[in-house]
Each structure stands twice: as C-alpha cells, then as structure tokens.
Amino acid sequence: MADSRGDSAVPAEEAGRSTRVWIATPASAVPLRVFGLTPEERLRRSLARDGTYRIHAGPKPPAAAQGEAVAVLRADVVYDERLVAALLETRDILLVTGQGEPAAARVPAERLEDTVAWLAGDESSDAFAARSGLRTAAPDDLVPRYTATLRKSQPPFALPLRPGESATLEKQLFASSYKGVTDLVTRFVWPAPALRVVRVLAARGVSPNSVTVASWILVAAATVAFAGGAYGVGLVAAWLMTFLDTVDGKLARVTLTSSRVGHVLDHGLDLVHPPIWYYAWGASLLAAAAAPAWIAAATWISVVGYVVGRAVEGIFLLIFGFEIHSWRQLDSRFRLVTARRNPNLILLTLGTLAGRPDLGLAAVAAWTVLCIGFHVVRLCMSLAERRGGGVVRGWQAGAA
C-alpha cells in the first residue's frame, strides 16, 4: 500500500480498469478511531475488499483527466461497507448522511473543485445539485435495507465521526454486525459482553481467526470432558466456545477483516461439532453401570436428528435461495429456540444442574424430533405456496 498521503500504485495493466478514489483528509483532522481503526483505514480496507482502485488520500484532490470519474469520500465519516461499494458503481451522485450533511460523491473530474466546496459546506446540497446537474441521494437511496447474509433489514449508514462519539459509533457498528435471526442466547445474552470483548481485541489487533482457533480448542476440551463424564467442566468450555463464536464473527465484521479462510474455519466448526458433543455425552452415560437402553436411543436420535434437521434447512435453501428461518416471522421466532447448539446446551445444562445429565440428553432428543417435524411442515407449506403461484421470499426482504 502506498503512503496514505499519496496515490496508491496499481499495476499498469490494471490502471485502465481501476477507479480513482480520493479519501478527503483535512490537514487538521484529529486521528479518531473506531474499533482500533481510523475512518481512513476502514475505507482502505473496504476498497481493498471491493476491487482495485487508484487511491489518493490527503487534504488536496488528486490530478484527474478531463471526463474521468472520481469518487470522493470524507475521511471523518464512517461508512456502511455496502454503501462504499454502491457509491463506486454510481455516476454523478452526491451522497448525504441521514441528517443531510455532505458525505461523499462520485463526480466527473471537472466538477471536483466544486465538490470540494460542497463537502466543506460552502453550498447547500440542493443548490449544488441543481447547478451541476448531479443527483443527491441519501444512504437508503443507494443500498437496500435488507441484508441476506445477516438475515435482517437495517438501514445503511454514513456517520460523521466527531470527538467524544467513538463509543457511540462502535455500538452502532456492532449492532449492525449482528445477525437478525439467531438463537435466544446469541440474541439476548451475548451482545453486551461481546461488545466489550470485541473492543478490547480490536484495540490490540487480535485477528478473528485467532479467536476461531481458540474456539476449536474449547470444542475439543468440551468433547473430552463430556466423554469422561465431567459434564460441568465440559459445559463451561462449551458455553465459553459459544461466546467466542459470537465474538469472532463480530470482530471480523467491525474491523473489516473477514476472509475466506476465517469463513471456512468458523462455519465448518459450527457445522460439525454439535453432534460430536451429543455422541460424547451419550457415550459417557452408556459407560456407566446399568445404563438404561433408552440412553443409546436418545444419543442416536440427537446425533442423527441434528443431521436430518440441517438437511431439511439445506433443502429449503437449495430450492428457494434463502434460509428457512427467514421465510415468515414465525420461522424467525422459532429460530430462537430451535434444536441447534445453544438451545440444546440449555437443556443439557438444566439436566446437569438437576443432577440428571441423562434427562438433559433425553430432552435434546425429544426437542430435536419436534423441531424436525416443525421444519418439515414449513418446507411442505412453502412448496405448496409456490405450486399455487405464490412467491416464496423472506418476510424482511420486502423492506429492500
């Protein structure tokens, strides 16, 4: 990466298809940080993820050829990553914040000097747009609210960063990184402590993949403890793992450090470890003297039922292109308690606290069967709706 006060170099063969971007950094700018990053560093990471650009940063605009498009983004504004990508694909646009303040623009080079004056507040957005023939847009005009990857509808943002407001912006960024459809522990218990931990880790430059590796270690520790009948110790390790599973994803999103390797490590771990835990739990119960025969049945129902449940979800995703939990509000609410890892851990924990880990496993098996039945019915209903000419889509997608 080139010096932040000059043009970033790109290979000559890429220069023709790259876009010039100016990160407008006032000479008097105070180096404020959000999750350990200045707004300029955040912008550079967003741009690096979206493609190859000729990046210039500093108080003075770059030299641009006549007719060349230049994207101008203020270095004292924190942008929704979706908004940065949309701006770079839109021509002749003036972007304002939700409060109507100048935030960014993509303009022809001949309008660059006027745009600098507009960003400085020397002319109103309406007056400048009318005089220049440019279009004024708010974040909502460029980016749909619905985000399929996070399964929720949330407005895009462009938030000016001022002294004393870093903590407030961190809360907003953290909230925007949270999935809208998830289990009750992740949604209601983990957010507050996870925000505090993410702040500490981001400030120290800890990578999300390091947190994920720690999760893998805790999964192994919990498995060994469950298999040995040390249910309490195993549950402590398991719950700590579920907390770190929340932390690593949020850390990656708020610091813009998501990667393909991290995605595979995180989601691969989430996919494979729950049935291993159920099997280890059941195996330890079966190793006890005079273990009742139903424990073996409960163990295999929990293990196989997990696979069947994920398969039903996968079939829905393959057919309709989105997750079954996002279809109707009922499905999103049921996701809070459906037989996934965290709700099942609650059942195992309650059984252990009552001195009956066997009943905890039995509860997991029974709840797994009920949840499979619910999702199979919902899958059949969605197929019937499509056959009847209806459009099957997520209930929040209408807010796009």
The 3-class SS string of 108-174 reads: EHHHHHHHHHHHCCCCCHHHHHHHHCCEEECHHHHCCCEECCCCEECCCCEEECCCCCHHHHHHHHH
pLDDT at 264: 79
Cα angle 208, 5, 73 (rounded to 5 degrees) comes to 70
What per-residue confidence (pLDDT) applies to 7?
Answer: 45
> Domain 12-142 is of which CATH architecture?
Alpha-Beta Complex (3.90)
Return the structure tokens found at 24: 């407008």
> pLDDT by residue (tens digit) across 323-363?
999 999 999 999 999 999 999 999 999 999 999 999 999 99
- Mean pLDDT for 156-172 is 89
What pLDDT is attached to residue 57? 86
In the chain, where does the domain assigned CATH 1.20.120.1760 lie? 179-399
Mean pLDDT score across all residues of the chain = 89
What is the pLDDT at residue 27?
A: 65
> Measured between alpha carbons, how far is 59 from 27 in angstroms, rounded to an integer?
6
Closest among 358, 339, 352 to 236, alpha carbons compared: 352
Q: Is the pLDDT of residue 62 over 50?
A: yes
pTM: 0.88
Tell me the percentage of the chain whose pLDDT exceeds 70: 93
Question: Cα dihedral angle (308, 312, 313, 316), rounded to 10 degrees?
Answer: 160
Task: With cut-offs at 50, 70 and 90, classify the pLDDT of residue 6.
Answer: very low
Give 99's pLDDT tier (boundaries 50, 70, 90).
confident
Phi/psi for 269 (5° steps) reads -65, -45
CATH architecture of 179-399: Up-down Bundle (1.20)
Positions of CATH 3.90.550 in the chain = 12-142
pLDDT tens column, 200-256:
999 999 999 999 999 999 999 999 999 999 999 999 999 999 999 999 999 999 999
Which span out of 39-53, 100-114, 142-156, 217-231 was modeled with the highest average pLDDT? Answer: 217-231
pLDDT of residue 15: 36
What is the reported pLDDT for 400?
Answer: 43
